[in-house]
Structure 1
Amino acid sequence: MDEAQFASWAMKICLSILIIFLGFIVWDLGKKSQAGKFGTAILFLVLGLGVTGFLFKEALISLIMHFK
């Protein structure tokens, strides 16, 4: 395994852990602020859109690099 492969795997693993941790933070924020089910759902929706945007960007870059 070379350095580039290790960096790629480490990035995927660490980002997955970070996303899960951010989900816990949002859940805890919704619970402590007494946002209710709807407010907590909105918080998760916003976080989900951010994560989806990041994943879409990565997929788009992979697609562009594949056809280059």
Structure 2
Amino acid sequence: MSEEQFTNWSMGILLTGLIIFMGFIVWDLGKKSQAGKFGMFVLFLVLGLGVGGFVFKNILVEFLIP
């Protein structure tokens, strides 16, 4: 396995774990602060937009830079 293959595999696996862990942190924060349904929706919306922006950036880089 080359270094590039290892990097690609580890980025995918570890970033997925980090995103799931951040989701748990946001859920726990909303629960402890008694944010309610709308507050939890906003918290997860912002987390989702951040993750979506990261994924969108990677897609753009893969297709626009040969």
Q: TM-score range by the shorter chain?
A: over 0.9
Deviations 1:33-58 (A, max 9, x none): 00001100100000000000000000
What does 1:8-47 correspond to in 2, within 5 Å? 8-47=8-47
**CA–CA distance in structure 2, aligned partners of residues 25 and 41 of structure 1:** 14
TM-score (normalizing by structure 1): 0.93
Identity of aligned residues (%): 65
Aligned to 1:50: 50
Instruction: Measure how far apart 1:11 and its partner are.
Output: 0.6
Unaligned runs of 5+ in 1: none
Q: After TM superposition, what 4+ stretches of structure 1 lie above 6 angstroms from structure 2?
A: none
CA RMSD in angstroms comes to 0.7
Letter of the aligned partner of 1:23 in structure 2?
G
Q: TM-score, normalised by structure 2?
A: 0.96
